[in-house]
Structure 1
Amino acid sequence: MRKAVILDRDGTINVEKDYLHRIEDFEFEKGAVEGLKLLAELGYIFVVVTNQSGIARGYYTEEDLIKLNNYINECLEKEGVKIEKFYYCPHHPEKGIGKYRVECNCRKPNTGMLEEAIREFNIDLEGSFMVGDNISDIEAGIRAKVTPILVKTGHGMEHIEKMNELGVPIYENLYEFAKDLKKVYKNITI
């Protein structure tokens, strides 16, 4: 089994911009690249699970999303980091258009994307994390039985009170989470 960090994309890896889909609008969140590099050194693999209701609403296409995700991976690979796979939910139950207006099991906080990643990459639930900036990320992590982590980037600050109630660890960004996790590994003797 493999240990993984399952990541939300918008507000966690990249700066939150409503319905981001253009490469020219993309920018990494502070500490994201450094955090991913450190987590990779600790032996984690990465998968992304992202709600993309902009597709459902007709703001951009699945092809636009795939193009941006490929660009993100190209940038990260130059830094020695690889996202194994980007899973995305293109649906919205109320605001979707046509085939995208459905109740699905992939839209977080549902666990469809996480379950698919867990199966496909043989992910060790006990040793893995779901990191995101939104309550839906945290709820999906809890439901999928991986340890949830909230980052304060993106929408994270809006959910601090609820996370404190749930006892969910909170970090400034991915890098601060990775540094803390590295300390844990230093204290483990094999």
Structure 2
Amino acid sequence: MNKLRTLIVDDHPIVTEGLKNLLTHEPNIEITEVFYNGRDVLSYMKDHIADLVLLDITLPDINGMDLCKMIKQQSVETIILVFSNHTERSIILQSIRNGASGYLLKNSTLAELRDCIAEALKGNICYSREVAEIISRPSKNGSDHIPKITRRERQILSLLSEGKTSQVIGQELFLSPLTVDTHRRNLIQKFGVKNVAELMMAASQHKIL
């Protein structure tokens, strides 16, 4: 059986050492590298293959949710499991939108981690027991799912829905087209979508338009 080439990404040495010791005797896992920041991971993955990444959210240089997306852009086949202390529903959901195959809290058991890895290998989304409970709770007024946008972003969203280009929007709002493009990219990221068409659908579903 080929072992999963596994990276651990966490800025706390006690956590990385604990995970290494925990997974040392797992027959299907080989810890190939440990990283304490996001940039080193991205640099490593330019020349190396990783089958599995155990990723923390709080890193000193790159937000773990953003790093998740960057890793998937470099290596779509890599399985990412977020391993974090953050219990906010919005963070969990955004991590999954950004390409994570699962989300576990750091108080998870080895059995939960094994189960998550097995499910992720099948192509499924997986959670530790406590995270699954958080996900299953009704959100308060659905507020977890509605991205917070600025007044300017709302203006640009409205003009995009009318089919206007960045050039035209810039002229109407006295902004450069590059500034409009930046706002558009920020909106796409906030809503966790891929393009303007999906952005319009998401904004409509949230009754923002």
Q: Determine if the TM-score, normalized by the shorter chain, exceeds 0.5.
A: no
- What's the TM-score bracket when you normalise by the shorter of the two chains? 0.3 to 0.5
Which of structures 1 and 2 has the larger relative contact order (alpha carbons within 8 angstroms, sep 6+)? Answer: 1
| TM-score (ref. length: structure 2) | 0.38
| TM-score (ref. length: structure 1) | 0.42
